[in-house]
Structure 1
């Protein structure tokens, strides 16, 4: 259902992206447990007091609105065919991040390329966002969505060297991971219906990861990063009585357990952020960084400066003996000559 789009530099010039129109990720029937959760446990997961849907899950609808508006704008601008436009809006691109544009780790999660890509992620956001915001509360859900989205982008940054990546599916996988942790911890409270929900989310996660591993153009590293970080945050955020604590932790009591796991999660995120900051060394030297700069300079008519950047890229490509990069550089040289 949820997808994070990723396309390599070699595919950027293609006129059509077939994976944007592929229905392979569409899961027609929601797991039974998700339906049971929404219909039979409103008093357990809803906010106190009456209110409309927007009041009960305001951050879900807020994130929905941001993704929808930006998605529609990019569709109107035909951004899926314009790599530079996606980059201007804040798409994930590792060479630019290593040069200091770390804000792309956040901005990429609100961008989508194409109607199908946007539709699937909006559906996933509504389904899992409303459930998670009721399970964890508004504030925790806000941080769950943002931090799992950043973690998804960070994972993509670490393992996806030169692809451009966009989409909210990393955060959606994060919400699925948080639900897995929640129902593992509170399995006694929800009984069989909770187990049905747990199994349904696990199966749905596995199916989507399998699709991501077999279909070209899906940033599965972002999905994995979102899912794992969501499980960690779900474990930290889940409310529980002492009776519901894992047996090995019951001697700590609820208060001490919350204190320990909260600081543990802060440490994990600090380590992840530091790893992301210092991981840029793996991209040096990276010819695509120079190619990207050259493209911008060509568009601005700064041809001599662009030629210098392409010279640097050529030296690295010759050292790497990468024919694909060399062909990319020669193509840009032809733009300068013309």
Structure 2
């Protein structure tokens, strides 16, 4: 499920939405770091700033999902999407998967805007990433007979490690992580009980 055996060309052909997300992440990262590009302008126009969201710049609920400044943060989120997303793109389809990814990230960023101070700034795809695992959690809770025990245990373990990482790492937006996961779980619940997933139960 999480082991990738495709060639590079096969992966691009099979998972076009994931490929597009990764390409956007790479392009934005380069635009924010290459010395001959207006780096500061890229960062300041995309980063989540609660005060500016309150002033009407609502695109900042979306753009931080694709913005990373630290290399480790960029690599971790991008590699995680490459490894853990393919099953979901196949299950949900192209439109369904991008809806899940954006919905989870926006829920996390909206909760950040509502619950954290107006001076708070944030960036990164972690809310979307945790949304993927929120969706996986809904699958193993409501369709557990469809997954081997080893897969269910792997998902739970990754969720636990994600929670520990959120708690012990400094400068982590715990609100975005938590509510991104809640958003993904809610998306999964709706998909399985009222959406296309209901027909396959």
Look up the SS of the partner of 1:112 in the other structure.
coil
1:78 Cα shift?
A: 11
1:77 Cα shift?
A: 4.6
What is residue 132 of structure 2 aligned with on the other side?
175
Q: Please say which structure displays the higher CA radius of gyration.
A: 1
Cα distance in structure 1, aligned partners of 2:179 and 2:44: 22
Look up the SS of the partner of 2:58 in the other structure.
coil
What is residue 104 of structure 2 aligned with on the other side?
148
Partner residue of 2:141 out of 184, 196, 200: 184
What is residue 20 of structure 2 aligned with on the other side?
62
Post-superposition Cα deviations, 1:124-146, rounded to whole Å, max 9, x if no partner, equal: 11112212112222221111011
Q: Does 1:213 align with 2:167?
A: yes
Residues 77 and 147 of structure 1, relative CA distance in 2, 3 Å threshold? farther
The aligned length equals: 192
Superposed, which structure 2 residues align to 1:27-176 within 5 Å? Answer: 34-35=2-3, 52-77=10-35, 86-88=43-45, 90-161=46-117, 162-176=119-133
Partner residue of 1:236 out of 167, 190, 197: 190
**Runs ≥4 residues deviating over 3 A:** none
Residues 77 and 145 of structure 1, relative CA distance in 2, 3 Å threshold? farther
Superposed, which structure 2 residues align to 1:289-328 within 5 Å? Answer: none
Cα distance in structure 2, aligned partners of 1:208 and 1:179: 13
Cα distance in structure 2, aligned partners of 1:101 and 1:219: 20
Cα distance in structure 2, aligned partners of 1:78 and 1:215: 32
Cα distance in structure 1, aligned partners of 2:164 and 2:36: 29
Cα distance in structure 1, aligned partners of 2:48 and 2:84: 24
Where structure 2 has 5 or more consecutive residues not aligned to the other structure, the ranges are: none
Look up the SS of the partner of 1:103 in the other structure.
helix
Residues 85 and 137 of structure 1, relative CA distance in 2, 3 Å threshold? closer
Cα distance in structure 1, aligned partners of 2:23 and 2:187: 24
Post-superposition Cα deviations, 1:155-176, rounded to whole Å, max 9, x if no partner, equal: 1112221221000111010011
Q: How high is the TM-score relative to the length of structure 1? A: 0.52
Cα distance in structure 1, aligned partners of 2:35 and 2:120: 21
Look up the SS of the partner of 2:57 in the other structure.
coil
Partner residue of 2:180 out of 205, 208, 226: 226
